[in-house]
Amino acid sequence: MKDEPVAKNTLTKLASAFIRKEPFGLVLIIAPWNYPLNLTLVPLVGALAAGNCVVLKPSEISKAAEKVLAEVLPQYLDQSCFAVVLGGPQETGQLLEHKFDYILFTGSPRVGRIVMTAAAKHLTPVTLELGGKNPCYVDDNCDPQTVANRVAWFRYFNAGQTCVAPDYILCSPETQERLLPALQSAIARFYGDDPQSSPNLGRIINQKQFQRLRALLGCGRVAIGGQSDESQRYIAPTVLVDVRETEPVMQEEIFGPILPIVNVRSLDEAIDFINRREKPLALYAFSNSSQVVNQMLDRTSSGSFGGNEGFIYMTLPSLPLGGVGNSGMGRYQGKFSFDTFSHHRSCLLSHAGLEKLNEIRYPPYTAWSQQLLSWALASRSCTLL
């Protein structure tokens, strides 16, 4: 919160120069349903710490969490500065007609566009935490069981309803053959022989999402899992193979416990495949060779990158969470939240006196005074006006 002093040039040596971080004012946070508490409260912490008043719009889809946030949370905060508003797409549209001083939105790219368009009318800055298909490249040079453990855990966590989960695997046919039994093994280890009865496996949020996911089970060929139970909105941890790029499972963000494997014949082919598509929120590369991991990092772009890891970086507040391109703009988490929800105001406090020192900058100019002025402004930089 403290003012940040900055370096000065000759003309401003006697002044006080600093950046002051100020709240924007009225902040709107629109939260999604997949981590309805975390993705509501973590932004809220940033917005409050930065000194803003906050309007929270939790997702109407995660109804039980919405109820707690609406009924219980306000009791713990000063309600003259904080409010929870409820509603579906229509109410959100109405809400967005109002002017806010900052909007943080977590959700799909489609709705992200709507939010940014509405924000543009009021020149409201935004952070959009969106999504995409997060590629997971698995090199031939790897230990299949280690990779399978890590990928499976991050894919099936929260029944796959995670914006930064690995969405699909890219690997050679040979590596696929080694991975499949390892994935089966990891799934059995984590969730038992009957995953449906495991307490560690989530469920799909609602019927609409369940139906959408069940339809994706028809793509390619089911290598592992594939079972579903409508009464529980349960979908088994599934791996699909022989998947073509044009099939629906490779066209939309999966957001469920389904992991397609797409074959590539080399690292170059994998990189081309990734770069032909929208920039994802997260990108993963698994290899025993750090060279390979670094090449993947150097030759692609994504919100964030994990080498031999899934999204555990989310628990490192020193790393920002944010997208690029279609996966979003802006970032938050830890210190970045405070900075995101603050306006960084440049301040210079000069002397009211010492007017004699200003003489060189006033016209009329001589050749000499112009030279002096250039020097004083530290003519390394652009004095061209």
By beta-carbon proximity to a copy of itself, the closer residue of 146 and 263 is 146
Contact 237, 210 (CB under 8 A): no
Q: Which of 60, 71, 129, 230 is catalytic?
A: 129
Q: How far is the CB of 190 from a copy of itself (least distance, A)?
A: 5
Question: Residue 136's beta-bridge partner residues?
Answer: 169, 284
Contact 55, 47 (CB under 8 A): no
Contacts to a copy of itself from residues 2-41, by CB under 8 A: 6-9, 11-12, 15, 17, 19-20, 22-26, 33-38, 41
Contacts to a copy of itself from residues 176-235, by CB under 8 A: 189-192, 198-203, 205
By beta-carbon proximity to a copy of itself, the closer residue of 260 and 330 is 330
Asked if 260 interacts with a copy of itself (CB under 8 A), we say no
Binding mask 284-323 for a copy of itself (x = CB under 8 A): --xxx-x--x---x---xxxxxxxxx--xx-xxxxxxxx-
Burial 299-329 (b: 16+ CB within 10 A, else e): ebebbbbbebebbebbeeeeebbbbbbbbbb
Identify the residue whose tokens are 């806010």: 100
Count of residues that bind a copy of itself according to CB under 8 A? 146
Q: How far is the CB of 15 from a copy of itself (least distance, A)?
A: 8
Q: Which two tokens stand for residue 8?
A: 């000065």
**CA 116 to the chain's CA centroid:** 16
By beta-carbon proximity to a copy of itself, the closer residue of 138 and 219 is 138
Contact 16, 43 (CB under 8 A): no
Identify the residue whose tokens are 């040039």: 9
By beta-carbon proximity to a copy of itself, the closer residue of 49 and 372 is 49
Which amino acid does the sequence have at 165?
A: A
Contact 15, 350 (CB under 8 A): yes
Asked if 347 interacts with a copy of itself (CB under 8 A), we say yes
**CA 358 to the chain's CA centroid:** 48
Asked if 325 interacts with a copy of itself (CB under 8 A), we say yes
Contact 119, 24 (CB under 8 A): no
By beta-carbon proximity to a copy of itself, the closer residue of 123 and 276 is 123
From the list 143-151, 240-248, 252-260, 262-270, the region that binds a copy of itself by CB under 8 A is 143-151
Binding mask 147-176 for a copy of itself (x = CB under 8 A): x-xx--x----xx-x---------------
Q: How far is the CB of 121 from a copy of itself (least distance, A)?
A: 6
Compute the distance between CA of residue 296 and CA of residue 287 in angstroms, rounded to an integer: 10
**From candidates 31, 55, 223, 224, binder to a copy of itself by CB under 8 A:** 55
Q: How many CB atoms lie within 10 A of CB 174?
A: 10
Q: Is 4 a catalytic residue?
A: no
**From residue 242, how far is each of 65, 156, 236, 247, 350 by CA, in Å?**
39, 20, 19, 11, 69
Contacts to a copy of itself from residues 71-130, by CB under 8 A: 72-73, 75-78, 80-83, 85, 87, 91, 94-95, 98, 101, 109, 112-113, 116-117, 119-121, 123, 125, 128, 130
Residue from 256, 155, 259 nearest 210 by CA: 256
Q: How far is the CB of 179 from a copy of itself (least distance, A)?
A: 14
Residues in the chain, overall count: 385
Q: Where in the sequence numbering do the catalytic residues fall?
A: 129
